[in-house]
Amino acid sequence: MEEKHLFPEIPFNYALCLKRECPKASTCLRQLAEQDISDSVERWMIISPKYQVTLEGECPHYRPDVKVIYAKGFTRLLDNLPYAQMKSVISRLRNLFSERTYYRVRKGERLLSPAEQKEIQHILVRCGIDEPPKFDAYVEDYAW
């Protein structure tokens, strides 16, 4: 019988956590992925248990096991803008990302996190566009 995993697409070299006594272990992606990872995986990347002993307060590596909405592409976002306004938006978006990343994000090759979506909305507002951005598509996934 084939193994069934809750997290079939754990990112390559994603740091896993072995600290089972952590109070947030039951909702932490790093802990849950470690418990779910396939037996056929030969090597893992882990957060050092020695380092974890030194941590006080909130764990900086905690990732909640809730899915978030990523935006995918914005090829139509600029279609109805006047030319001068469109140039200003594009210039600011290229400054936010790099030139190469701007085109990858625009075409939907790289997803936009909720925080990046907000940054794009702030750019649009600064350029005089009050409508929220309409991205090409939306994808629900974990914030690894």
The model's pLDDT over 116-125, given as tens digits with 9 standing for 90+, comes to 999 999 999 9
Judge whether residue 2 has pLDDT over 60: no
Question: Which tokens go with 74?
Answer: 């914005």
Please tell me whether residues 74 and 133 are part of one structural domain: yes
Count how many Cα atoms sit within 13 Å of the Cα of residue 14 in the half-sphere of its side chain: 22
Length of the chain: 144
**Residue 12 banded pLDDT, cuts 50, 70, 90:** confident
Domain end, chosen from 39, 65, 91, is at 65
Question: Rounded to whole angstroms, how far apart are CA atoms 53 and 62?
Answer: 15
| pLDDT tens digit sequence for 26-75 | 999 999 999 998 888 889 999 999 999 999 999 999 999 999 999 999 99
Give the pLDDT confidence score for residue 89 in this predicted structure.
96
Q: Which of 65, 84, 106 is the last residue of a domain?
A: 65
Q: Which residue segment(s) compose the domain that 82 sits in?
A: 67-142
pLDDT tens, 69-112? 999 999 988 888 899 999 999 999 999 999 999 999 999 999 99
Q: Are 79 and 57 within one domain?
A: no
Are residues 22 and 80 located together in one domain of the fold?
no
DSSP states along 94-126: HHHS-HHHHHHHHHTSS-B-HHHHHHHHHHHHH
Total domains in the chain come to: 2
The tokens for 25 are: 């272990």
Measured CA to CA, the distance from residue 144 to residue 137 in angstroms comes to 20
Q: Model pTM?
A: 0.83
pLDDT score for 5:
62
